[in-house]
Structure 1
Amino acid sequence: MGSTNGYDALLVVSFGGPEKPEDVMPFLENVVRGRGVPRERLLEVEAHYQGFGGVSPINQQCRDLIAALDVDLPVYWGNRNWHPFLEDTVRRMKEDGVRKAAAFVTAAYSSYSSCRQYLDDIARARAAVPGAPEIVKLRHYYDHPGFIAAMADHTREALDRLPADAREQARLVFTAHSIPVSMARTAGPAGGAYEAQLRRAAELVTAHVEEGRAWDLVWQSRSGPPQVPWLEPDVCDHLEALHAEGVRSAVLVPIGFVSDHMEVVYDLDVEAADTAEKLGMALTRASTAGTHPRFVSMVAELLAEPEPAPCAATCCPAPVRPAARPGR
């Protein structure tokens, strides 16, 4: 590996997820703390997790990514919402003598929840640990060749899983987590960047897979109250619209996610798959980037880039919203 810009550690920062049934409700309460989410909504989402044994795949995917990394630095891992918590990890880094760490966040795009909120998480964790190391968040990587190559390979593999007679005309349906329109189209340095970055990533992946193949960008995992506008169309509604247009096969490409978690395995592998089955539509789902070798090598490449400039304080502001519902 090349230069590491004076970093003496790499910190992987992620969302976190439960790993046994009794973890689920405490985890969800962490996710929605201070947002006034009704108990009945938490119970509804808890049932999704319990349908998978109370385990989200995201923590194991973080472990797998860390095990695959080839970097000449000690690697630490801290989560926003579940063990290992970021504050505990920063405390351990300080005790180990780390002075300056690069933070690789498992979110590739610009928005409040995928960028600014992680910066705030890092700042709070450092404030809670006297003498905490400096932590520099690495840049957004939605268009990095390593991420694009990984998603293109996974998309080809998903196409190959379709029946031969359905493969040629299959629509690529790129999905990402819906967010409030007020968040997606906010003013400021990153205004509108989330949707534009996702479209660019989808364009790049499609060009690698097959120039000219039809594709769409749609949304999933809406979790807000119905009176608040969120990005649309929803993936299940879009599959119904495609079917009405005569499209009979599709590949779901979770371009908005870098690892599987409940919003991928429930919203796509259960809800969207059920919708397609009812419609008689052939459907497969591409894997997330996960531990694809090009995605793994991308992390080392980001470490070797010039240190990114800090985000502006006004970047990716939090949306003004009423009490919301948790994501799945």
Structure 2
Amino acid sequence: MPYQPAHAPYDALLLLSFGGPEGPDDVVPFLENVTRGRGIPRERLKEVGQHYFLFGGVSPINDQNRALLAALREDFAAHGLDLPVYWGNRNWAPYLTDTLREMARAGHRRVLTLTTSAYASYSGCRQYRENLADALAALADEGLPLPRVDKLRHYFNHPGFVRPMVDATLEALARLPEDVRAGAHLAFTTHSIPTAAADTSGTPQDHGDGGAYVAEHLDVARTVADAVRAETGVDHPWQLVYQSRSGAPHIPWLEPDICDHLEEQHGKGVPAVVMVPIGFVSDHMEVKYDLDTEAAAKAAELGLPVTRAATVGADPRFAAAVRELVLERAASERGERPERCALGALGPSHDLCPVGCCPARAPRPAAAGADSPYA
């Protein structure tokens, strides 16, 4: 029997992310990419772009993805995994279509995709799958051979994602003044999305009452809080809260907002708060502005001591988790039954998004799922 590498049948990994501007001149064109088709005036985009201009027009996300790429390549090499890693973005260079074109021309025919979104939702999963389908359609129009593209399962509860967040929470607690530390409240934060999108997140059987999006975040928050209690002996109260809301004010989005939550906790006499951004892979703009700038300013106004836990970023344990997920999926594709690691109560997620998973308002082709036109 011919030798098969541990990652067979896959011959490449694609890191797929959101993208971000890398200078002041990039900000408005980047936001035009993000909002394409919504008819938002350029002047309004300049207003929205003020968050980026406060940081020199540079989003941290691209450098953070470069660091993750380096960590993945280092981990793969250290463990003898000869699997090239590419990087493409939805909304800024390097663009997904350009990267897939490069991969196709390099001869790659079975591609695994890691998205920088750990949870189920339309914007965090299916929209990336739609982008993959758009890119494959563009390659087909150019007459290029199309690789088969699959997506790694949701990794929100993989130990390599959760354990770094536990340590980051402990470190953030340790930075609080000792006299308020034991009474600190843990505010687990994630991106707010419309309640209608939350209710239809995940598989059809998950739909309703926040769907998989809320259930998965609650499970991770509970797992982290339990681990902190086991480590410190202190049972810190906690709550899942939201940030980074955008869109029309008349459309219901998940609440409470982190700033409103800080006011509420201060009113209850809570002595301190640790903000734990469990919904984000890295410290990109929505973490740096919405938490480190806006929420921190609200806490200062209230006189409420706060610290913020770090995100997972390029932690070596996360890079190792990605390797484990690659090998797990490869073994499954070969018909084996690999161990599927997961913490919390929900168990490991599905490999293949089923029909009806995280549906869009207007149906569009999506790759890397049971309804993919490119299977």
Q: When the two structures are superposed, what TM-score results if normalisation uses the length of structure 2?
A: 0.83
Sequence identity (%): 57
Is residue 174–residue 218 contact of structure 1 (8 Å, CA) maintained in 2? yes
Q: 1:62 aligns with which of 65, 80, 98?
A: 65
Corresponding residue for residue 180 of structure 1: 194
Q: 2:97 aligns with which of 87, 104, 109?
A: 87
Q: Deviations over 1:88-115 (max 9, x none)?
A: 0000001111111110110000000000
Corresponding residue for residue 325 of structure 1: none
Matches of 2:164 and 2:360, distance apart in 1: 31
By how many angstroms is 1:313 displaced? 3.0
Q: 2:168 aligns with which of 154, 161, 172?
A: 154
Is residue 152–residue 351 contact of structure 2 (8 Å, CA) maintained in 1? no
The answer to whether the aligner puts 1:46 opposite 2:49 as a matched pair is yes
AA aligned opposite 1:16: G
Q: 1:317 aligns with which of 345, 356, 359?
A: 359
AA aligned opposite 2:46: L
The answer to whether the aligner puts 1:109 opposite 2:151 as a matched pair is no
Corresponding residue for residue 119 of structure 1: 129
Matches of 1:314 and 1:252, distance apart in 2: 33
By how many angstroms is 1:41 displaced? 3.2
Is residue 175–residue 307 contact of structure 2 (8 Å, CA) maintained in 1? yes
Is residue 189–residue 315 contact of structure 1 (8 Å, CA) maintained in 2? no
Q: Deviations over 1:227-272 (max 9, x none)?
A: 0000000000000000000012011011000012111100000100
Greater shift, 202-211 or 293-302, is seen at: 202-211
Greater shift, 119-128 or 107-116, is seen at: 119-128
Is residue 3–residue 303 contact of structure 1 (8 Å, CA) maintained in 2? no
Corresponding residue for residue 21 of structure 1: 24
AA aligned opposite 1:63: R
Corresponding residue for residue 201 of structure 1: 220
The answer to whether the aligner puts 1:134 opposite 2:148 as a matched pair is yes
Q: Which runs of 5+ in 1 are unaligned?
A: 321-328
Matching of residues 223-242 of structure 1 within 5 Å: 223-242=246-265
Name the SS for the 2:321 alignment partner: helix
Name the SS for the 1:252 alignment partner: strand
Say what the alpha-carbon RMSD is for the aligned residues: 1.4
Matches of 2:286 and 2:351, distance apart in 1: 31
By how many angstroms is 1:44 displaced? 1.8
Q: Deviations over 1:261-318 (max 9, x none)?
A: 1111000001000000000011011111101121111100100112464212321012
Matches of 2:154 and 2:40, distance apart in 1: 30
Q: 4+ residue runs of structure 1 moved beyond 3 angstroms?
A: 38-41
Count, aligned residues? 319
By how many angstroms is 1:319 displaced? 4.4
The answer to whether the aligner puts 1:10 opposite 2:13 as a matched pair is yes
Is residue 283–residue 311 contact of structure 2 (8 Å, CA) maintained in 1? yes
Corresponding residue for residue 245 of structure 1: 268
